[in-house]
Amino acid sequence: MQTKDLHVFLYENKKLSQYAIGNSQKKTADVATKPTCHLQCIMELLSNVALNRPTAQSSTWYGPVFGPSKAVDGCVNGIFDNGYCSCTSDDLAAWWRVDLLAVHKVTAVTIINRQDCCPDRLIEAQILIGDSLVQNGNQNPRCGIIPSLRGTPTYTFHCNEMEGRYINVGARGFQQFVTLCEVEVFASLSGTALGCYF
């Protein structure tokens, strides 16, 4: 049986202070907080709640082979021509969306960009989380904006348990392709920590 990683996020004043990956079978992770201090946290396993969920996008480039579901199929291969990525047409304010089917407290969103070409196409695209489908979900609150991804095909946004059913990735009012090779949305199964101790 494959063991999943346990993702642990610690916050101080609603800002991420530490992050660690531990053992999901024991549901524990050691997190170094200071050189002289060690904190162990026991938390619920964070799950990728976007995996195989319903998706939509503003348009699809070159037919269904680059449809929106390719971004939540669990395949993190970033080679575009292999057909593992979703891709919109060169739309004005292009967008992509996943429906989590229920409201979740989102801890983090990981974006995997294409790795063979054109990493700059996602620069300044925004990550939105919320419950509204007004303007296709593109008016929901923002978790973050994608910075330069050149040389960094994977980027994780820490969303401080923003609540929402829909996750959007969209260009900010300019004409551009939105290409996503995978989008992972991490949320606690219970939304709460079981406890931390020194």
If asked whether residues 68 and 18 sit together in one domain, one would say: no
pTM, entire model: 0.76
Over residues 67-124, the pLDDT tens digits come to 999 999 999 988 998 899 999 999 999 999 999 999 999 999 999 999 888 888 888 9
If asked whether residues 62 and 118 sit together in one domain, one would say: yes
Domain that holds residue 114: 48-188
If asked whether residues 71 and 168 sit together in one domain, one would say: yes
If asked whether residues 96 and 148 sit together in one domain, one would say: yes
Determine what percent of the chain is predicted with pLDDT higher than 70.
70
Q: How many domains does the chain have?
A: 2
Number of Cβ within a 10 Å radius of residue 143: 21
What CATH number is associated with residue 151?
2.60.120.260
Rounded distance between C-alpha atoms, residue 152 and residue 28, angstroms: 29
Over residues 123-153, the pLDDT tens digits come to 899 999 999 999 999 999 999 999 876 667 8
The pLDDT, as a whole number, for residue 7 is 52
If asked whether residues 10 and 60 sit together in one domain, one would say: no
If asked whether residues 35 and 119 sit together in one domain, one would say: no
Determine what percent of the chain is predicted with pLDDT higher than 90.
51
If asked whether residues 16 and 52 sit together in one domain, one would say: no
Average pLDDT, the chain: 80
Asked if the model's pLDDT at residue 25 lies above 80, the reply is no
Q: Give per-residue burial for 26-62: e unless 16+ CB within 10 Å, then b.
A: eeebebeeeeeeebebbbeebbbbbeebebbbbebbe
Rounded distance between C-alpha atoms, residue 165 and residue 192, angstroms: 18
What tokens does 116 get? 């063979």
